[in-house]
């Protein structure tokens, strides 16, 4: 596995925010937002350790700058959504945050060995 590129960090982190806010229905957004914020903080620590904190922060700023367009797109996405809210809730893994943190530790350990 190669080193992270600044562009992959930027596009991945910016698009993560856009997809989360555009595609998550309001009730699930409210329930999952605290975990999302914790994940973002953990990601900031991860990217700080890997030397990509400025890229990460730039991506989050880019996401914020494009949020008006995302909110307009959100209206269309949510209006045409076909999956019922309860079905989405049942498909979600309540342990996702622990899984993502384990994934970040694995990536960090793998990078140290390279």
Domain carrying residue 54? 6-113
Domain contains 60: yes
**pLDDT digit string (tens) for 27-54?**
999 999 998 998 899 899 989 999 999 9
Overall domain count for the chain: 1
pLDDT digits (tens, 9 = 90+) for 41-95: 989 998 999 999 999 999 999 999 999 999 999 999 999 988 888 888 888 877 8
Instruction: Answer positive or negative: Cα dihedral of 70, 72, 78, 82.
Output: negative
Residue 61 in domain:
yes
**Does residue 1 fall inside a structural domain?**
no
């Amino acid at each position: 596995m190669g080193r992270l590129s600044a562009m992959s960090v930027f596009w991945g982190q910016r698009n993560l925010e856009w997809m989360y806010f555009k595609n998550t229905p309001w009730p699930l957004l409210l329930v999952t937002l605290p975990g999302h914020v914790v994940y973002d903080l953990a990601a900031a620590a991860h990217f700080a350790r890997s030397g990509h904190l400025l890229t990460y922060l730039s991506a989050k700023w880019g996401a914020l700058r494009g949020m008006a367009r995302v909110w307009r797109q959100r209206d269309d996405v949510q209006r045409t959504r076909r999956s019922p809210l309860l079905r989405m809730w049942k498909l979600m893994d309540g342990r996702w945050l622990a899984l993502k943190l384990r994934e970040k530790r694995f990536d960090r350990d793998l990078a140290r060995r390279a």
